[in-house]
Structure 1
């Protein structure tokens, strides 16, 4: 009788051990599948996100050259009309991240800053100049610098950068939705990201 009990106990132990090993195998396989799925989603998100805008600016450029103790003055001036195409881009191919399979946590370690590109089309009207004070390459360089500075101020006051950021959040939210649906966590800047609003605040 004692041998029978020992034999039954041994069989039960073997069965339990087999099921435990099978469970661990399935759990490990599931974890690998989850990790691969998340990595694929990050690859899909990794693209160039571009937001476009158009801005106009009208400037008056003046410069004076004075001679003979300022008795003689030679002025040059021009009316400048600027139409500029502006893009704000995020290269999400540069996003870096860590995957912690044990804690089921995705940590975004780096998100690239926006890249602002200004392509101005500058036209000159009512150009007045003299032979002693003509327009030169230096003038055009100064004008180009002034144009870009003024456009940068317009861009800051516009909704272009905000719209670009919203598109960035929209793309990164795809990772958030997937991690939440799979029971994983998403972290950025040392903080858990639970909603789009959390992501917006961290960027």
Structure 2
């Protein structure tokens, strides 16, 4: 009888041990599968977001030169600028870490917006002095001024806002997935607890 009870106890302990190992294995398998889903989602959002727009501006460029403090020579030109503009985020450049123990996905870096301006410059009403002609340096200066003015317009436009909204939409997909799997999504040192908090973190 005593041997029977001892045998039964050993069998029970063995069964518990086997169950523990199986449960541990299943848990590790689940965590690996969760990590795989998250990595796959990061891969899916790792694409190029491009928002396009068109801008135009008119610039009056003037340049005055004085020779020997007596002679003055002036030049002036009206410049019409039309530009196709792209605001893009290359989400392949997102940097992240995954901690399976704490079930945390941390986004450490989000790429900055890349603004591409392709201006078409047309010149009108050219006025120049005998000793003050337009040259390559003037054209470079005009192009630089045009791009600076366009960049200011772009920064104040809905084009940048729209591209940010598309970025936020992609990041929200990561939040939805991590939240559904019981994981925590963080941006740098800040935990994201809702889709709204992503917008607050990303939007300046």
- State TM-score, norm by structure 1: 0.94
> Which residue does the alignment assign to 1:138?
137
Which whole-Å CA distance do the structure 2 matches of 1:21 and 1:111 have between them? Answer: 40
Matched, 1:94 2:93: yes
Q: Is the 8 A contact 1:189 1:202 kept in 2?
A: no
Superposition deviation, residue 87 in structure 1: 1.2
Which whole-Å CA distance do the structure 1 matches of 2:79 and 2:108 have between them? Answer: 45
- State TM-score, norm by structure 2: 0.94
Cα deviation digits, residues 42-80 of structure 1 (max 9, x gap): 01111111111211101111112223533x332211111
Cα deviation digits, residues 115-174 of structure 1 (max 9, x gap): 111111110011122332111011111111111111121112212211111111111111
**Structure 1: gaps spanning 5 or more residues:** none
> Which residue does the alignment assign to 1:6?
6
Cα deviation digits, residues 154-199 of structure 1 (max 9, x gap): 1122122111111111111111111111111100121111222211
Which whole-Å CA distance do the structure 2 matches of 1:109 and 1:189 have between them? Answer: 5
**Structure 2: gaps spanning 5 or more residues:** none
Superposition deviation, residue 85 in structure 1: 1.3
> Which residue does the alignment assign to 1:197?
196
Q: How many pairs align?
A: 202
> Which residue does the alignment assign to 1:62?
62
Runs of 4+ residues deviating >4 angstroms: none
Which whole-Å CA distance do the structure 2 matches of 1:53 and 1:138 have between them? Answer: 29
Matched, 1:113 2:148: no
Report the RMSD for the aligned CA atoms in angstroms: 1.3
> Which residue does the alignment assign to 2:29?
29
Which whole-Å CA distance do the structure 2 matches of 1:158 and 1:87 have between them? Answer: 12
